[in-house]
Amino acid sequence: MKVLVLDTSAFIMGFNPTRPGEAYTVPAVEDELLRGTMTQLRFHVNKEKGKVILRSPSPRALESVEAVSTKAGEKGHVSQADREVVALALDLKQDGQDPVIVSDDYAVQNMAEHLHLNYGSLANFGIAHKFDWIMYCPACHRRSMGSEKTCRVCGTELKRKVLSRSKVSRDSSVK
């Protein structure tokens, strides 16, 4: 059964699930919504009507997402809510469902692509390439695979660049 896994951007863009039980999200998404806004109100109404189900991802799925975010170079560029949304999609896929992550965040889409998860966006076309990123020091040219912001050797602020890219397989993306 196809189910939606909603990122914060889905609520910000005004997405409203139509049927109860078809959409999931994580508690961290609720925490990212600004208090007293229409977005937060829409979220709570959908949650109360049962159109959005709050579910936390399993520790195993979170570990998988952490490993992929580190390997892909997204670790320092995605929020906890982003990682949990992707991990929840992994759990739902493991449960025999067909999850589609709804997010306009390119980093979330990139992680989904790395994990062979379906995704769609509301306000943009989505990614065209799957990227592996690397942090490097523009001063001493050392690479960093961690999530540091400054070079451990010379203290210069690290920059991010593409290590490798490949074309997105169109059947992984839902438009």
Segment 45-58 shows an average pLDDT of 93
CA distances in angstroms from 27 to 56, 73, 87, 108, listed in the order given: 7, 25, 13, 17
- H helix or E strand, kind and range, residue 5: strand 2-6
Using alpha carbons only, how large is the chain's radius of gyration in Å?
Answer: 17
Segment 106-123 shows an average pLDDT of 88
Segment 50-62 shows an average pLDDT of 95
Architecture of domain 2-125: 3-Layer(aba) Sandwich (3.40)
Query: Which range has highest mean pLDDT (29-33, 144-148, 151-155)?
Result: 29-33
Domain ranges of the chain: 2-125
What's the predicted TM-score (pTM) here?
0.74
